[in-house]
């Protein structure tokens, strides 16, 4: 959410930003916000004037009564009553206008960073850099579920009976590999100075609307019926929410946290990636990283965060590339974002395995995450997040890139301690 003062003083810049994000249907919101803002400020000013006059009129009534001027005192009382009624009207006007104003402001996209390429959707994202040499072996790479089946490692049929489509059972070596990757990612981030945390897996609605746009909320979140609780779609939501309504000393920043959680997603309207197997699912587990920092430090942390993911994947012998997200592919709260994509030898192309985002002060403004410097000045923090690893897609990349012609799968040295020293996975059939 952008600063109302910025919109008030720079409406054309806000309109241009909306156009760059190909959201022209939101252009009328700018004028609507300006009018609502005027309405709120006018109601507040008139209300303040009436409150200020209340004491003066009360003193007049007392003085008139002492002087025996009862009729004049009654007239002033009538004025006080009329003012009270008007004040009640103004408070209702201010409340209703503020509610509509906040909703509109939360629908207007954040101002994107000048470095973001302009494009309509993810097809216009721009490759930044490749890490590791993509290899296509001289033997056929089976579909990832077929590789898993060789290890008796996945059961979609039983999961379908228990929970429906979009769920699975992981078994045996594949399940162990899944847990090993999560544990390795946890320690990888701890070794980089991040504090490990296991957060709540449900959050209240005010946190949901504080960390994401209405569109994302509708497409992703599962609501707990009868309660003001949602299942998290990523631990970033819960981790940023940890700082809601806080005033933090500048000297304590940055907060660097890495968190484990299950994730639950409706995947409403999801498209653009293979639907079979474990590509697009309703439940998975993930290791995440978040940073809460001073505004001037967020560009530096942005680069550090995506580099962490690149380094982790390279330590497991998986080639990756980074992709700058264009304006039309940015969620409304983000000012800058890049995807980390892993190489798929089977598809002979890269696919997304993580996303790094700088949200500037958008989440902090919504959640009231403030910072106080040594001079007592207060400002909103900047927040960033990035995927360390999400094993469902990581498993796909891992299995394809470490598969041998005989069906065995190499376990890189970095992961071997988490697999009981196993150097190679042997198929069961």
Q: Where are the domains of the chain?
A: 4-105, 122-425
- Please give the helix or strand (H or E) that residue 314 lies within, else none: helix 298-315
**pLDDT (tens digit, 0 to 9) for every residue of the chain, 429 residues total?**
899 999 999 999 999 999 999 999 999 999 999 999 999 999 999 988 888 887 777 767 677 777 777 778 778 788 788 888 888 999 999 999 999 999 999 999 999 999 999 999 999 999 999 999 999 999 999 999 999 999 999 999 999 999 988 899 999 999 999 999 999 999 999 999 999 999 999 999 999 999 988 778 888 899 999 999 999 999 999 999 999 999 999 999 999 999 999 999 887 554 444 556 776 788 999 999 999 999 999 999 999 999 999 999 999 999 999 999 999 999 999 999 999 999 999 999 999 999 999 999 999 999 999 999 999 999 999 999 999 999 888 999 999 999 999 999 999 999 999 999 999 999 998
Element (H, E) at 351: strand 349-358
Judge whether 4-105 and 122-425 match in fold. no
pTM here?
A: 0.89
Residue 21, beta-bridge partner list: none
**Sign of the CA dihedral with 221 first, then 244, 301, and 188 last:** negative
Nearest partner of 294 among 381, 402, 200, judged by Cα: 381
Residue labelled with tokens 């101002």: 111
CATH 3.20.20.70 describes domain 122-425: no
CA diameter of the chain: 108
HSE at residue 215, side-chain half, CA atoms within 13 A, is 12
88: left (phi over 0), alpha (psi -120 to 50) or beta: alpha
Number of CB atoms found within 10 A of residue 148's CB: 27
Structure tokens at 429: 């059939």
| 126-131 sheet: strands from edge to edge | 126-131, 320-324, 336-344, 349-358, 382-389, 283-293, 255-264, 195-197
Neighbour tally for 118: CB within 10 Å: 13
Assigned token pair, 94: 């201010």
Question: How many residues does this entry show for the chain?
Answer: 429
Intra-chain end-to-end CA distance of the chain, in Å: 54
Tracing tokens 């290791």 back to the chain, one arrives at 287
Query: Is the Cα torsion angle 57, 63, 66, 70 positive or negative in sign?
Result: negative
Tell me: domain 4-105, CATH 1.10.287.40, correct?
yes
C-alpha angle with apex 201: 199 to 206, nearest 5 degrees?
Answer: 95
Give the whole-angstrom CA distance, residue 327 versus residue 422.
Answer: 44
Return the SS3 of 407: coil
For 334, phi then psi, to 5°, come to -85, 140
Distance between CA atoms of 224 and 240, rounded to whole angstroms? 20
């Amino acid at each position: 959410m952008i600063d109302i003062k910025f919109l008030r003083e720079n409406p054309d810049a806000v309109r241009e930003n909306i156009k760059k994000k190909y959201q022209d249907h939101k252009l009328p919101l700018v004028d609507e916000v300006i009018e609502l803002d005027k309405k709120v400020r006018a109601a507040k000013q008139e209300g303040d004037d009436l409150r200020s006059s209340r004491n003066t009129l009360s003193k007049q009534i007392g003085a008139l009564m002492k002087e025996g001027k009862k009729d004049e005192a009654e007239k002033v009382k009538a004025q006080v009553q009329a003012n009270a009624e008007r004040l009640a009207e103004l408070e209702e006007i201010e409340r209703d206008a503020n509610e509509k104003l906040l909703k509109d402001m939360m629908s207007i996209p954040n101002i994107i960073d000048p470095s973001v390429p302009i494009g309509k959707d993810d097809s216009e994202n721009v490759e930044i850099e490749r890490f590791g040499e993509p290899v296509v072996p001289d033997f056929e790479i089976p579909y990832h579920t077929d590789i898993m089946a060789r290890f008796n490692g996945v059961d979609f049929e039983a999961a379908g009976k228990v929970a429906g489509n979009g769920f699975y059972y992981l078994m045996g070596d594949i399940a162990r590999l899944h847990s090993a990757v999560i544990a390795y990612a946890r320690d990888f981030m701890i070794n980089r100075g991040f504090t490990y945390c296991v957060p709540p897996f449900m959050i209240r609605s005010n946190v949901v609307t504080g960390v994401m746009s209405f569109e994302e909320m509708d497409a992703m979140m599962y609501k707990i019926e009868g309660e003001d609780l949602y299942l998290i779609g990523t631990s970033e939501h819960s981790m940023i929410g940890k700082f809601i309504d806080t005033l933090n000393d500048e000297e304590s920043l940055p907060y660097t946290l890495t968190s484990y959680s299950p994730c639950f997603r409706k995947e409403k309207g999801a498209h653009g990636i293979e639907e079979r197997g474990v590509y697009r699912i309703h439940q998975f587990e993930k290791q995440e990283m978040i940073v809460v920092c001073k505004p001037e430090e967020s560009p530096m942390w942005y680069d550090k965060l995506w580099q962490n993911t690149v380094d982790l994947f390279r330590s497991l012998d998986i080639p990756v590339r980074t992709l700058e997200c264009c304006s039309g592919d940015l969620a409304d709260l983000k000012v800058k974002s890049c995807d980390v994509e892993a190489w798929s030898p089977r598809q002979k192309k890269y696919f997304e395995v993580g996303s790094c985002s700088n949200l500037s002060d958008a989440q902090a403004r919504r959640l009231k995450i403030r910072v106080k410097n040594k001079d007592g000045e207060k400002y909103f923090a900047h927040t960033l997040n990035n995927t360390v690893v999400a094993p469902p897609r990581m498993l796909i990349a891992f299995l394809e890139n470490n598969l041998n012609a005989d069906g065995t799968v190499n376990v890189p040295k970095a992961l071997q301690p988490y697999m009981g020293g196993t150097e190679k996975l042997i198929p069961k059939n």
